[in-house]
Amino acid sequence: MWLKRFVFRRMAGGQQGAARCEPRRGWPLAWHLAMLCAVVLAPMLATEAALLFHLAQGERTRHEATAREAARRITVDLNRELIAMRTLMEVLATSDHLRAGDIGAFTSRAEAVPRPAGAEIVLQDQAGHLLATTAPPAERRLAMEGLAPAPPRPPVTEGPFSGLLAAPSREPAFAVSTWAPPGTAAPAWRLSLAVPLAFLNDIVRDAEIPAGMVASLLDGEGFILARSQEAARLVGTRVPPELNMPPAQAQGWQHGRSAAGEEVVAAFSRSGLSGWTVAVFMPEAAFAAPLRLSFWTMLAAGLLLAALVAAMASLFARRIARPIAALAGFAATGGESMALRPHGGVREVEAVAAALAAVRAEATARLREREDLLLTLDSAQVIVREPGGCILVWTSGSEHLYGWAPAEALGRISHELLETQFPRPLEQIMGELLERGEWQGELRQRRRDGSLVTVISQWALRRGPDGAPHTVVEASNDITGLREAEEALRLNRDLLASVLNASPEPISARDLEGRLVILNQPSAAVYGATVEDAIGRRVEELLPPSAAAAARAADLAVITSGRTQVLENEIPAGDGSPRVLLSSKAPWRDGSGRTVGVVTVSRDITVRRRAQARLQQMQEELLHVSRLSAMGALAAELAHELNQPLTAVANFADAARRMLGSRGTPDAGQLQAAREAMAEAAGQAVHAGRIIRRLRDFIGRGEAERQPTPLNMLVDGAVRLAMAGAGKQGVVLRLELAPDAPEVMADRVRIQQVVFNLVRNALDAMQEVVHRELRIATARRGGSAVLTVADTGPGLSQTVAEHIFEPFISTKPEGMGIGLSICRSIVEDHGGHLAAEPTPGGGATFRVVLPAAPQEAATQAEVTHG
Ligand code: ADP
């Protein structure tokens, strides 16, 4: 936990630090982008403005030039007409009629002169009186009489061209005048051509005046003589003085305000001939229109562009700023409070976002791993302390081990808190730590509850940047249980050694390969070696090959079967004499129950086996003696038994000898009789031979090996021997030998001795009674052979019956009392048992039960006998 807290604190501190180091807030990104766009677009706008201004200026110049040209053209047209009219007048002035003073003739002549429509030729005297006119009196619209220049006009006589001539009842007109006759110092007449202003209007109107412009013809006083538009209303009026061109100029360009109050510009062209001025006006608004249009256009374009720039900047800013803001949020929160979403449109930002997302995922995974690691480390028993011992870090693992909470342990001196018992003085250990940078050793320390704990402690020295010892990290492992287990193991080992050494019997354990793992001194003595020499050696290295192979086979049988086995084995001792060991071999199992070897506990039974052999031999001797003794008791009867066939042999031999005769040759009848007598003699001799062989077998020493022998055969032979002389006593023998009586694995002589003893005891018992019947029967009962010897004697008394099979129990004067005890040991030695019970109707019955010989053995015996 301390590590986790430490790391988290570091992380939190880092975030605070980041907060403290937050950069000064600047303009939003959209502003930056807008500025960028503005900077890029400003030259374009400036260029566009300059271009538009230039175009507008050009337009104005073009307007001005057009106006000037129009004015000039009108002036030229006007001059041409005026020249023509002046010429006409001058020509007419030269008329002879005038020289002659014939006014009438002149008038006629004048009337014939071609002239503009509505124009009148007027002849005046020097005083201005009308002398003649071409117009009829009724139509004298332009008659000079009464005509006077509109004040403050100068008199019409002043120049050849008079401007506005107007009278209240007359149509406005102008006049082209000349003096007649020409060339005279004092001309008598003034000849004028009065022309309606409509003529001038036609000239002005016919001129090509650009649209939006108005042409006016002004006389020297500024009165309008003709006008391209609104002539009817404005002709005759006077323009404001500032709109008229100063008299000195031939042409000009003037700004001003019209009579209607309208701002106008005007191009002027003065006719040097007449002194009149042609003015071509246009409204200031129309003139300035291109410039204004260009201004507004530029303004509109600028605003549109600015709006466009702002919109695009905003759009781009959103697309860029959002992910950047998200990334900023990612950085600010350590990636915990943000999910990076795709922000379409800005591929690079997408890539950065994707890369950051991957980095974040990896960082998160690493952080988790670190957390897990830290939690794992926290569970370890780790102490971080200053070299002097002051505890800086105390993990929950340490708390778990020692019982001290971090709050109790932090700041304490570790070896004082834990009362540490060091294997060496602490100064030495610290010296080694400073020299090697690490130390490891076993410590005894005290827990909070006072109990002692043994730990393996590993110390690591950490140095600061300046190389000076900084901290010591102690990682400890509790080995208290291990040490206790080792102590217990050592005690067990000592106990085992004590047990082994206390036992006089050989005890040993061998592993699966037959190597001795543990043994005691008696066991080593069996191998003729010391304990130290024998440990780790294989049985083949310690015993002769045959004994080693037998021991190994016995071990393998135990390992294979997993069961304890008891066996007797004979091994040569150091002095060459065989030693007999009764060994109990048990599987040696490990904690999981797996067999890892064999434990053998032996008992040296050499002495016992020798005593048993001796006893056996003595028993054999005893049995032999008892049989000899029995035969001795039967000597008379046996002699009688033998005497009969021998006597018969002698008799038959003697008869044959007599038949063959000593004199002469015997006849055929004699020979036949002699042959039969000899055959009888031979038969009797064979009978006597059987008796002798049975006797010899019975008193023999028996056979070492047991053979499968038919029970009936054993019983028949023994009964015949035992019944010697019984017939004289009037004993009735009922021999019932069952045909299916089995064979038994028997030492023939001993089993016959059993039958002999039982039969002899029965015959002895029946001497005291009148009805003497002996029933001897064999039978098969299950897997056993049963022999029953039942007599009709007095039976067993109560006292004798209880101890009848114990030795030296006898009711007979010469009896030794060992017959039945021998019988019982023989029967039991054959795996059977012997019992006595009363015969129904009186007498005693003895029953011998022997195990039947195995079938194969019996078959083998049959083959052998066959
Ligand atoms: P011994 O014949 O030398 O006495 P045994 O051990 O053969 O020794 O017999 C022990 C005793 O058992 C005999 O003395 C006799 O009293 C008794 N006994 C044995 N067989 C019979 C029998 N068939 N009927 C009655 N008693 C018997």
How long a stretch of residues is the chain? 866
- Cβ–ligand 1 distance for 843 under 6 Å, the answer no
Between CA 555 and CA 274 the distance in angstroms is 163
Task: Report, at the CATH architecture level, how domain 379-478 is classified.
Answer: 2-Layer Sandwich (3.30)
Of 420-429, 546-555, 620-629, 666-675, the poorest mean pLDDT is in 620-629
Q: How far is the CA of 805 from the centre of ligand 1 (A)?
A: 9
- Can you tell me the distance from the alpha carbon of 578 to that of 605, in angstroms, rounded to the nearest whole number? 11
pLDDT at 557 over 90: yes
Buried b (16+ CB within 10 A) or exposed e, 830-841: bebebebeebee
Q: Does the beta carbon of 817 lie inside 6 Å of ligand 1?
A: yes
User: In this structure, how many other beta carbons lie within 10 angstroms of the beta carbon of residue 517?
Assistant: 15
Per DSSP, the residues of 169-221 read TS--EEEEEEEESTT-SS-SEEEEEEEEHHHHHHHHHHS---TT-EEEEE-TT
For residue 170, what pLDDT is reported? 60
Cα separation of 356 and 361, whole Å? 8
Beta bridge mates, 566: 584
Q: Which residue has the tokens 């047209």?
A: 77
As a whole number, mean pLDDT of residues 346-375 equals: 79
Nearest CA to 266 out of 330, 315, 216 is that of 216
Contacts of 430 (CB under 8 A, 6+ apart): 387
Q: How far does the centroid of ligand 1 lie from the alpha carbon of residue 755, in Å?
A: 14
For residue range 208-239, list pLDDT tens digits in order: 888 888 898 888 888 888 888 888 888 888 88
Asked whether 816 lines ligand 1 (CB < 6 A), one says yes
Report whether residue 790 contacts ligand 1, using a CB cutoff of 6 Å: no
SS (H, E, C) 38-83: HHHHHHHHHHHHHHHHHHHHHHHHHHHHHHHHHHHHHHHHHHHHHH
Of 385, 433, 388, 427, the residue nearest 409 (C-alpha): 385
Task: Report whether pLDDT(257) > 70.
Answer: yes
- The CATH code for residues 489-604 is 3.30.450.20
- Partners of 176 in the β-ladder: 161, 193
Lowest mean pLDDT among 73-87, 182-196, 258-272, 433-447: 182-196
Q: When comparing pLDDT for 790 and 333, which is higher?
A: 790
625, 757, 761, 800: residue to mutate for ligand 1 pocket, most atoms within 8 A of CB: 761
Decide: 812 in ligand 1 pocket, CB within 6 A: yes
> Is 13's pLDDT higher than 60?
no
Query: For residues 554 and 251, which has the higher predicted lDDT (pLDDT)?
Result: 554
**Tokens read off for 471:** 């901290």
Pair of tokens at residue 495: 């106990």
Tell whether ligand 1 has an atom less than 6 A from the beta carbon of residue 791. Answer: yes
In this prediction, residues 516-521 reach a mean pLDDT of 91
Whether 129 and 141 have beta carbons less than 8 Å apart is answered as no
Element (H, E) at 849: strand 844-851
Note the pLDDT of residue 26: 66
Residues near 525 by Cβ (< 8 Å), separated by ≥ 6? Answer: 506
Position 8 scores a pLDDT of 39
Q: Which homologous superfamily does the CATH classification assign to the domain defined by 706-866?
A: Histidine kinase-like ATPase, C-terminal domain (3.30.565.10)
Q: 844 in ligand 1 pocket by Cβ < 6 Å? A: yes
Tell me, what's the pLDDT at 412?
A: 93
pLDDT at 861 over 70: no
Contact 758 CB / ligand 1 (< 6 Å): no
- Euclidean distance between CA atoms 142 and 38, whole angstroms: 72
What pLDDT is attached to residue 727? Answer: 75
Distance 628 CA to ligand 1 centre (A): 18
Q: What are phi and psi of 723, to 5 degrees?
A: -85, 10
159-163, 185-189, 208-212, 460-464: which has the highest mean pLDDT? Answer: 460-464
User: Does 469 contact ligand 1 (Cβ within 6 A)?
Assistant: no
Does ligand 1 come within 6 angstroms of the Cβ of 834? no
Give the phi and the psi of residue 141 in degrees, each rounded to 5: -70, -35
What is the average pLDDT across 187-205? 84
Question: 697: which strand partners?
Answer: none
pLDDT tens for each residue of 581-617: 899 999 999 989 999 999 999 988 888 888 888 887 8
User: Ligand 1 center to residue 758 CA distance, Å?
Assistant: 9
Reference 806, options 796, 816, 795, 820; nearest CA is: 820
Find out whether 599 and 562 touch, Cβ atoms under 8 Å: no
3-state SS of 322-374 is: HHHHHHHHHHHHCCCCCCCCCCCCCHHHHHHHHHHHHHHHHHHHHHHHHHHHH
Q: pLDDT per residue over 284-299, tens digit each? A: 887 777 777 777 887 8
17 has pLDDT over 60: no
Rounded to an integer, the average pLDDT of 538-554 is: 88
Question: What is the model's pLDDT at position 599?
Answer: 94
Is a pLDDT exceeding 90 seen at residue 715? yes
- Residue 846: the pLDDT is 97
Residue boundaries of the structural domains of the chain: 201-288, 379-478, 489-604, 607-701, 706-866
Instruction: List pLDDT tens digits, range 801-818.
Output: 889 998 888 888 888 888
Using the structure block, give the residue that is written with the tokens 């950490």. 462
- Mean pLDDT is lowest, of 151-165, 182-196, 306-320, 733-747, for 151-165
* CA 831–ligand 1 middle distance (angstroms): 23
636-657 burial: b if 16+ Cβ within 10 Å, else e:
ebbeebbeebbebbeebbebbe
Ranking 16-30, 449-463, 695-709, 727-741 by mean pLDDT, the lowest is 16-30
The 578-589 sheet, strands edge to edge: 516-519, 507-511, 595-604, 578-589, 565-572
Does residue 843 have a pLDDT over 90? yes
Residue 334: predicted pLDDT: 53
Q: Could you report the per-residue pLDDT of 383-392, keeping only the tens digit for each? A: 999 999 999 9
Are 750 and 713 a contacting pair, CB within 8 Å?
Answer: no
> Residue 153: what pLDDT?
32
Residue 110 to residue 106: CA distance in whole angstroms: 6
Residue with tokens 């995922």: 361
Shortest-distance Cα residue to atom 26 of ligand 1: 796
Domain covering 201-288 assigned CATH 3.30.420.40 in the classification:
no
Structural contact between residues 119 and 196, judged by C-beta atoms closer than 8 angstroms: yes
Q: So what's the pLDDT on residue 790?
A: 96
- Is the pLDDT at 314 greater than 50? The verdict is yes
Mean pLDDT of 471-478: 92
Mean pLDDT across the chain, nearest whole number? 82
Please give the distance, rounded to the nearest whole angstrom, from the Cα atom of residue 314 to the centre of ligand 1: 139
Residue 358 has pLDDT above 90, yes or no: no
Residue 265: how many other CB atoms lie within 10 Å = 22
Element at 722 (helix H, strand E)? helix 711-722
pLDDT given for residue 428 in this prediction = 93
- Binding site membership of 803 for ligand 1 (Cβ less than 6 Å): no
* Predicted confidence (pLDDT) per residue in 71-100, tens digit: 999 999 888 988 888 888 888 888 888 888
Which residues, at least 6 apart from 857, have a Cβ–Cβ distance to it below 8 Å?
A: 708, 745
Residue 762 CA: nearest ligand 1 atom is 23
Record the tokens describing residue 487, joined without a space. Answer: 């102590």
Q: Tell me the per-residue pLDDT of 120-162, one tens digit each, with 9 for 90 and over.
A: 888 877 777 777 888 766 554 444 444 443 333 333 445 677 7
Higher per-residue pLDDT: 329 or 314: 314
Residue type, position 848, single letter: V
* The pLDDT of residue 319 is above 60: yes
pLDDT at 137: 61
- Pick among 1.10.260, 1.10.287, 3.30.420, 3.30.519: CATH of 607-701: 1.10.287
**For ligand 1, what atom is nearest to the CA of residue 815?**
3
Q: Is the model more confident about 560 or about 866? A: 560
Measure 811 CA to ligand 1 centroid, in angstroms: 7
pLDDT band of residue 865 (cuts 50, 70, 90) is very low
| Helix axis angle, 668-698 to 606-633, nearest 10° | 140
Contact (CB, 8 A) for 335 and 359: no
Which pairs from 619-623 meet CB under 8 Å and 24+ separation?
619/822, 619/825, 620/701, 620/702, 622/818, 622/822, 623/702, 623/750, 623/753, 623/822, 623/826
Pull the structure tokens for residue 583: 């060994």
Using a cut of 0.75, tell me whether the model's pTM lies above it. no
Kindly give, in sequence order, each residue whose CB lies less than 8 Å from that of residue 642, ignoring residues fewer than 6 positions away: 688, 691, 692
Q: Alpha carbon 743 to chain centroid distance?
A: 79
Collapse the DSSP code of 94 into the 3-class scheme (helix H, G, I; strand E, B; otherwise coil) and give the result: coil
Q: Do 379-478 and 201-288 have the same topology in CATH?
A: yes
Tell me which amino acid residue 476 is: S
Among protein residues, the one whose CA lies closest to atom 13 of ligand 1: 810
